[in-house]
Chains A and B, each alone.
Chain A
């Protein structure tokens, strides 16, 4: 183990530069973000992920945000275990009928101010499952959505861009116009 640890110290960090904020074509801002809330929260956001029926592809890429290449925590973003500690709810999946109540209760358990981010094609509009009677067809059919991150699944870079949009008002404006 000592050798592994030592090599880790000698290696250059793998962490890559953050994606540029203006490359935000991958995201869709539903409405202007509340700048007062933004100021209050600063650049530190706690994220709670909720799978509302995803195929688990989005979860794989959200997980990847924690690896050494993307290292989400350097941006002040971190995943938390409880919705009661969260500022941002990252929701994936087409919202199945069977997950609807759990999703709503999780959102209710999250203190204000909070943002709901719909991640991936299914969360956006139901994706390939949109026609199913077992699904509600996207997060917006159940609750207001602040930001949509596109992709099936979105890549970790897409996810980073989207999340950085949340506290970069300038980038947000560009996202809206794109």
Chain B
């Protein structure tokens, strides 16, 4: 159902060859992570996903970021969390480690932001606590008048030590933690974790569960795309759209609660199946929701498209080039708005998407407007997927009982499509416990592009750009 598992232990030469291939654009970096004494690299090539492992008994490994910049932040995180030194890393500053994990009496050192030279420039520091109800992160704007000449983000404020918490966690607890890595993608995270565990143990969850997972994943996508659409317009001072999208989003969440007992569907996807079944009342609620959205979304699309003052703010704002998107392997609406036709549902065609009809909308402009339109098109696709899923829903059990799950040592991976892009999960299990688990949120390759998107735009357009990216802080900081 998901990509076949390939992991190879390589030497430094093999590691370098992988960097060559990524630098040349032949392969795409999926993730880079570590455990004690070993560093792993996941790449996507024509044959699928391959994991390369480089043992580093001396605590060093050749930096991939030196050749392929998208790896830089991942390598900084590896060094902060596992103490392995990426040799030749172009940016040696700590990333997730803010100098606050040791003695409380020792004050944390100031973070060395990139130096800025130029008489006319001024800086605006923003965060970690922002004006809105959003997650914490620090943005350092350097401006020439109103124009942003550089944005530098500093993240890591919500680092909760998830890698360490998962090491040695019994499966049930690990499943709960996985569902809380990034709350807005709780279904996607739970799905990715479940698929990785199932691949490791060679389990096939009941067919009905596989279909119900897709119902939940599409509901999650609908809710967030609707929410983002309204919020982006609100950041362009068009609050009418926020009000309407907010109502639709709320109705999606209420339907989710009716169907699966939780508005965000947290803890509903578990290894071996799902923890909630859809009854007749839930089915009727879903059908009502689809009919309502089919009627209510098109007028809003027209409203968005016909409002010149809104288009004035979104068209041409926060442009990311297709070249940069391809280099970073950026997924989701960030990638698809700039020519990268990648969707994990299509790329690894995990069930049930292998048997469903859907399009992957791709635009070229790479601006805020394109990211809005990708969302709008995906709302239509999600509705169409739900319309295919509901009548075809197989009957039968929805879960392999937890006591029937295997216990043996095994490894597995998954690449699933969260609402904001592809989510990579790798897990190693032992004695019914997670020994090591790694999540790579789509945001890892989207955050750096936000810095590129805002360059040359005015400060006042930053909220608009930021919302159109809607990267996860929690999913990135782990």
Residues of A within 8 A of B (CB): 1, 3-5, 14, 49-64, 66-69, 79, 81-83, 93-94, 96-103, 106, 127-129, 131-135, 152-153, 155
Contact = CB atoms under 8 A, between A and B. Distances in A.
Contacts of B101: 97, 133-134
Nearest to B248: A67
B182 to A, nearest CB: 6
Contact of B159 (A3, A69, A96): A96
B392 interface: no
Contacts of A56: 135, 182-184, 472-474
A51 B177 CA distance: 18
Contacts of B176: 128
B165 interface: yes
B95 to A, nearest CB: 11
Query: Which of A57, A93, A98 gathers most chain B CB within 10 Å?
Result: A98
B264 A133 contact: no
Contact of B135 (A3, A51, A134, A153): A51
A79 B157 CA distance: 22
Contact of B240 (A1, A67, A82, A127): A1
A4 to B, nearest CB: 6
B183 to A, nearest CB: 3
Given A56-B135, A68-B243, A133-B161, A100 B100 contact: yes
Interface of B: 96, 98, 100-101, 108, 128-129, 131-136, 156-162, 164-165, 173, 176-177, 180-184, 186, 227, 240, 243-244, 246-247, 249-250, 253, 257, 263-264, 266, 299-300, 303, 306-307, 472-474, 477
A66 B136 contact: no
Given A50-B129, A54-B135, A155-B263, A98 B100 contact: yes
Contacts, number: 146
Contacts of A103: 129
Given A5-B240, A56-B183, A60-B183, A132 B131 contact: no
B384 to A, nearest CB: 24
Contacts of B162: 129, 132
A80 to B, nearest CB: 9
B180 A57 contact: yes
Contacts of B227: 60, 63
A97 B164 contact: no
B73 to A, nearest CB: 16
A-B residue pairs, 9 tightest by C-beta: A57-B183, A134-B161, A81-B131, A67-B246, A132-B161, A55-B183, A97-B100, A55-B180, A56-B183
Given A56-B472, A69-B247, A79 B100 contact: no
26 contacts: A3-B299, A4-B244, A4-B300, A50-B129, A50-B136, A51-B134, A51-B136, A54-B135, A56-B182, A56-B184, A57-B186, A57-B266, A62-B133, A64-B246, A64-B249, A67-B249, A97-B159, A99-B158, A100-B100, A101-B108, A133-B161, A134-B101, A134-B159, A134-B161, A153-B183, A153-B264
Given A1-B307, A127-B180, 17 more contacts: A55-B182, A55-B186, A56-B135, A56-B183, A64-B249, A64-B253, A67-B243, A68-B247, A81-B132, A96-B160, A97-B98, A101-B108, A102-B128, A132-B162, A134-B101, A134-B159, A134-B161
